[in-house]
Homo-oligomer: A and B are copies of this chain.
Amino acid sequence: MYAKRAAIVVITSLAVSSFAESVISPEVHQDRSVTFRLKAPNAKGVMLRCEGKTAPMQKDEQDVWSITTAPLDPDIYSYSFLVDGLRINDPGNPLLKYSLIDTESQVHVPGPTTLAWELNDVPHGVIHRHHFRSKIIGDEREFLVYTPPGYDPVAKRPYPVLYLLHGFSDAENAWIDVGRANVILDNLIARKQAKPMIIVMPLGYGDLHMLDGGWQANTKSPEWWKLRDESFKKFHDSLLAEIIPSVEKNYHVSMKRTARAIAGLSMGGEQSLLFGLNGPDRFAWIGAFSSGGLKNIDFNQKFPDANEKVNHRLRLLWISCGKEDELFASNQKFEQWLNTKGIAHTWVEKPGRHSFLVWRRSLAEFAPLLFQDNR
């Protein structure tokens, strides 16, 4: 069936460039400029790709390619290198933005402790990884649960819960390892700007074939969109029938709809709108950050019961998008549709593109609004 076949053999004479061979990368300087370096003696050209921008790197006499940026705003940036057109991570940098299809490197340019995502010497919550077999989806998977600092399983009042959904290509860990949701909540709770809450982060695919190679091309076919709809449906059903009951069994959480929020970014933003607006009996609080998919769906068809009656059920419908995001127009279109339907909501335009730079800020702005009238 496959032509070539070779045993793996030891080739002892091979000169292998070791990972991170005495090259420091990235190096964040005092003035917040950053030097990126890559030792690649045989490359003809190396470029830095960082947050959607690309720039050529220069080679020195030691075969180290490098570039130093202008001073950057304090933030956490994702980047990779293009080596003769091949995209790779920075081999010397352990800070990864893990993804199911395009893991990148990250660089943290530190800033004042007042920034939402900066680690502070405050009490920290705990993150729990739950493994389960989904009968609905038919595989083994995990979800993460953040319990706030000082979580008390026998507290007088049960905790409210935010179901927080990741974007396409990411996994259940993204909101922690890239989005720093735990750090953001630790900080907000320490400052009494957010209510102590549980955050649940599931894997947002009901069918992982959504991610199959060449998905960019696949999205041009109706089959892919059908697969996507089925994937969303299965994930929805697993969330409701498997994950939420498990959380409500294992944690001291309220089962009232007014103590349940759903929010997400990109694909997870769209899912939050779909599951939330179509399920106000379950979720009274909805957040949708830079929602994906809105360009391709018929709002009236996907939200059949969305009308002003929902205003009596929802406590918050909060929608944000970066102004430089390719999805900005479709998010704006959705916001306008909400207006035509008379559905109360908050619409927030943020600087930036389709990136965690926007989403960390969105969560930091959204979380303080949650459960403030929790009755």
Contact = CB atoms under 8 A, between A and B. Distances in A.
A133 interface: yes
A244 B52 CA distance: 44
Interface string A109-127: 0000000000101001111
A48 interface: yes
A101 interface: yes
B40 A86 contact: yes
Nearest to A49: B16
A86 to B, nearest CB: 5
Given A10-B52, A84-B43, A2 B20 contact: no
A103 B84 CA distance: 21
B69 A6 contact: yes
A252 to B, nearest CB: 12
A20 B53 contact: no
Contacts of A140: 119
B68 A16 contact: no
Contact of A101 (B19, B119, B121, B132): B19
A18 interface: yes
Nearest to A52: B10
A301 interface: no
- Oligomeric state, in copies: 2
B8 A50 contact: yes
A129 interface: yes
A374 to B, nearest CB: 26
A55 B8 contact: yes
Contacts of A100: 94
Name, among A103, A133, A171, the residue most crowded by chain B CB atoms within 10 Å (CB to CB).
A103
Interface stretch (A213-221, A265-273, A277-285): A213-221
A50 to B, nearest CB: 5
Given A21-B214, A68-B6, A101 B96 contact: no
